[in-house]
Amino acid sequence: MERNAVITADGSVTLFSSETGEHYHSVHGAIQESLHVFIGAGLKQLIQPAQINILEVGFGTGLNCLLTLAEPSTRDTETYYCGIEPKPLTGEEVLLLNYGRLGAYGEFAPLFEQMHSFSRGSRLLRQGFTLERVDTGIEQAMLKSGFFNLVFFDAFSAEVQPALWEPAVFQKIRAAMQVGGILVTYAAKGSVRRALQQSGFVTNRLPGPPGKREMLQAVAC
Ligand SMILES: C[S@@+](CC[C@H](N)C(=O)[O-])C[C@H]1O[C@@H](n2cnc3c(N)ncnc32)[C@H](O)[C@@H]1O
């Protein structure tokens, strides 16, 4: 198999892709990293949004979507989550993921299954929370202009997929975002920061999760 399960330091599973030679999450803790980068520096920074419109570049395991579902703010606010993933997991690979079997997220196990029961189209996962899955790359995806107020940019690194971290991709994403919308990514490289700045974002370097000194938060201006 091209992808193998690996247990990370916080007990949550990630996948290792032999095609890229990279893990889907930090081996210091998959859930810990996602909570820090995408929920803490992203979702929790939205100020009383009327609606939460999230774009995820690289839906992969669906961990960020699961953690978003578990956040109390998304129970009270209409949430639309668009996950872009050209290489959806197989049913066998989904069974390797233990998120729904960990105590904190047990109640979300059935929703996690539903998230992976389709790879294209939209489903209402629960009242007020719609997941749309797109099975093309971000380069080909059709995005509504000025729509998203939060972007989880979680592609493989610029070392292995450099084209995804170029201004052309960030400009396309910027055009799909509201002014003041937030993009977060685990990456902190200078070249990524400059590409974001050239694409209409103001960038902030924030402390990274355990094992990583910094990460980037970018605000659409
Ligand atoms: C680092 S993994 C992270 C996945 C995910 N966010 C998670 O929590 O499991 C990167 C993901 O980006 C996906 N990907 C690869 N090429 C892509 C592209 N052109 N556009 C969007 N996503 C892509 C990969 O298949 C993989 O699932």
Looking at residue 191, its pLDDT comes to 98
What is the distance in A from the centroid of ligand 1 to the CA of 87? 8
Looking at residue 212, its pLDDT comes to 96
Instruction: Output the tens digit of pLDDT for each of the chain's 221 residues.
Output: 589 999 999 999 999 999 999 999 999 999 999 999 999 999 999 998 999 999 999 999 999 999 999 999 999 899 999 999 999 999 999 999 999 988 889 999 999 999 999 999 999 999 999 999 999 999 999 999 999 999 999 999 999 999 999 999 999 999 999 999 999 999 999 999 999 999 999 999 999 999 999 999 999 99
What is the distance in A from the centroid of ligand 1 to the CA of 163? 13
What is the distance in A from the centroid of ligand 1 to the CA of 214? 20
Q: What is the enclosing helix (H) or strand (E) of 22?
A: strand 22-23
Looking at residue 200, its pLDDT comes to 98
Fold classification of 30-220 (topology level): Rossmann fold (3.40.50)
What's the rounded Cα separation, in Å, for the pair 140 and 136?
A: 6
What's the rounded Cα separation, in Å, for the pair 92 and 90?
A: 5
Looking at residue 1, its pLDDT comes to 54
Give the position, in ligand 1's atom list, of the atom nearest the Cα of 60. 27
Which residues line ligand 1 at a C-beta cut-off of 6 Å?
A: 24-25, 57-61, 63-64, 84-87, 137-139, 154-156, 164
